[in-house]
Amino acid sequence: MCLTVGEGRMSDSRETVSSKDTEEVIMEATFRALSKHGYTDLRMRDIGEEMDLTRQVIHYHFDGKYDLLSSFLEYVIDQYEGSVEVDADDDPRSELDARIDQCLFGPEFEEFSHWERMKVYHELYTHAQNDGDHREIFNEHYDRVRGSIIEVVEDGIETGEFEPVDAERMGQLITDVIHAARGRRMALGHEDAPAEARKAIDQFVLDSLYADD
Amino acid sequence: MCLTVGEGRMSDSRETVSSKDTEEVIMEATFRALSKHGYTDLRMRDIGEEMDLTRQVIHYHFDGKYDLLSSFLEYVIDQYEGSVEVDADDDPRSELDARIDQCLFGPEFEEFSHWERMKVYHELYTHAQNDGDHREIFNEHYDRVRGSIIEVVEDGIETGEFEPVDAERMGQLITDVIHAARGRRMALGHEDAPAEARKAIDQFVLDSLYADD
DNA sequence: GATTCGGTTTACCATACAGTAAATTTTTAA
DNA sequence: TTAAAAATTTACTGTATGGTAAACCGAATC
C-alpha cells in the first residue's frame, strides 16, 4: 500500500469510500491483466487498459509496481480463503470431501472464474521462489489451508470415524495432490486433472482413513 | 534455433564444433542467469554476464529472446530426462523406489545442482500456461516421465508383485505428489518437503500396491 | 599468402516502460 | 458558498532493454 510522503496517507480507518473503491477496481483490473498477459509480461499499461481510470491513478494508490503486486498477492489470497465455505456441523468425512472438492473445482457455479483465479494464484506461487516477502505471505496462507485439512482429519480420528493415521502427513499429502492437479490443468491443459486427482485421492489415499469399511 | 536468412543455416550435421560449443556455453549461461534472476526478471544482459563472450553472440546463434528460451526449454528437458538412471534389471519395487527418489532428490551426489535445475524447470513449467508451444513441449516430456512410472507399476502388476490397481491413476498420483513436493520446497522453502513426500507416498499410496504384506 | 567465411566484438539505435509533475476535476468540510 | 483536500488526468521524462550494423579476428581453403 502506498504511503504518500510529506504528511503521510490518511489512516486506514479514515480511508474514503471512493478510495477503497478505486483500490478494488485496481485489484480487479490487475487480476484481469495478469490473467491475460501472465505475470512475466504484465505491464502497468495492461492494468490501466482494464480499468475506466487511467493507469496513473495506480501510482497514487500504490507505491510502484512491486507494492501493487504485493497488495494484489494479499488480495488474491484473501479471496481464496474467503471463498472456502463448508457446513460447520458436517461430519468429518463430508467436510473433508467438501474441502477437497472446493480446492479442486472451486466454489460451485463459479467454475470459470475459479480457473482464472487459480491461474494467477499459481503464477504468483511459483514466482514466490524469487521473492522473500511473497514467500512469507504464501507460507502463512498455505499453513492455514493445509491446517484446515489436517484439522478435519484429526477430528475424524478423534471421533473414531477415521483410522489413527499421521494426520499432518495425510493432510499434507492431500494438499500436495490438489496443488499439483490444479497446476497441471493450467500449465499442461489437462482438463481432467482435478477430476482424476479426486478419484485417485479417494481410491489410494482416503482408503487409509476408512480401512475398516 | 536461429536460421540465418539467405542461404539458410548449415545443416545440423555440418555444424562447427565451436558453434556447438558456444551454444552450450549460452545454454549454461542462460541457466545460471535464470537461476539467479528468475524467469520474470531475466534480461539478455544477465545471460551475457554469465559468459566470457559478449551478449551479442546470442543474437548470432539464436533468433531473439523467445527463440533462445524455447531452445533452452528443450535443453533443460533433455538434461532432466538424461539424468534419470535406473538399473534396468531391478525388480519393479526397487525400480519404482529408485525413480521416485531420483525425481524427488535428484541423481546422487548432485543435490545442489539438482535444486538449481528444478527451480528453473518449475518456473518454465508454470510459465507454459501462457505459451502454447512451451506447453506442447512440456506435455510430450511429461508424458514420458509419467509413462516411465506407470510402466513400472504395470510391470509389477504383471509379475504379481503389485496389487492389480489402476496403474495409470496410481502413476499419475505419484507423479503429482513428486511435482508438488518439489514445487513446495522451492516456492515456500520447505526443505523437508521431498523427504516428507517420500514417506507419505510409502505410507499412504504404495501400501495399496503391497496390500498383501 | 591472399581470400573467404564463420564467429565475435564494439558502437549504436529505437522504443517500450515505469514513474513523475503539474494542471484539473471532484469531494469534503467550514 | 467557499476553501481546502483528495483524486484523477494530461503531458512528459529518464532509462533500461532487446536488437542491429558494421568493423574485426582467426582459421580454413585455394
pLDDT the model gives residue A86: 87
* CA–C1' gap, B112 and C10, in angstroms: 38
Whether A188 and B142 lie within 8 Å, measured CB to CB? yes
Contact list in A for residue B77 (CB cut-off 8 A) is none
Asked whether A101 and A31 are in contact (CB, 8 A), the reply is no
Per-residue pLDDT averaged across B163-184, rounded?
Answer: 97
Residues with CB under 7 A from strand C: A 16-18, 42-45, 56, 59, 64-66; B 10, 15-16, 18-19, 22, 52-54, 56-57, 60-61
pLDDT the model gives residue B191: 97
Contact list in A for residue B185 (CB cut-off 8 A) is none
Which of B129, B177, B199 is facing A187, going by the closest CB pair?
B129
pLDDT the model gives residue B8: 34
**pLDDT at A132 > cutoff 50:** yes
pLDDT the model gives residue A213: 59
Which of strand C's nucleotides are less than 7 A from any protein C-beta?
6-11, 16-21, 27-28
Per-residue pLDDT averaged across A4-16, rounded?
Answer: 39
Chain A, nearest residue to B142 by Cα: A188
Higher-confidence position of B15 and A125: A125
Query: d(Cα B122, Cα A123) in Å, to the nearest integer?
Result: 11
Asked whether A162 and A156 are in contact (CB, 8 A), the reply is yes
Please report which confidence band the pLDDT of residue B12 belongs to, taking 50, 70 and 90 as the band edges: very low
Burial class (CB in 10 A: 0-12, 13-18, 19+), A141: buried
Chain centroid offset of residue B108 CA: 16
pLDDT the model gives residue A40: 98
Contact list in A for residue B135 (CB cut-off 8 A) is 187-189
Apex B174 CA angle, B170 and B176, nearest 5: 115
If you ran DSSP here, which 8-state letter would residue B108 be given? T
Q: What are phi and psi of B204, to 5 degrees?
A: -110, -20
Whether B189 and A139 lie within 8 Å, measured CB to CB? yes
pLDDT the model gives residue B61: 97
Burial class (CB in 10 A: 0-12, 13-18, 19+), B83: middle
Which of strand D's nucleotides are less than 7 A from any protein C-beta?
6-11, 16-21
Query: d(Cα B121, Cα A190) in Å, to the nearest integer?
Result: 19
pTM for this one?
Answer: 0.91
Q: What is the DSSP string of A83-94?
A: H----TTS-HHH
pLDDT the model gives residue A195: 98
Please report which confidence band the pLDDT of residue B110 belongs to, taking 50, 70 and 90 as the band edges: confident
Q: What is the mean pLDDT of chain B?
A: 91
**pLDDT at A211 > cutoff 90:** no
Q: What are phi and psi of A197, to 5 degrees?
A: -60, -40
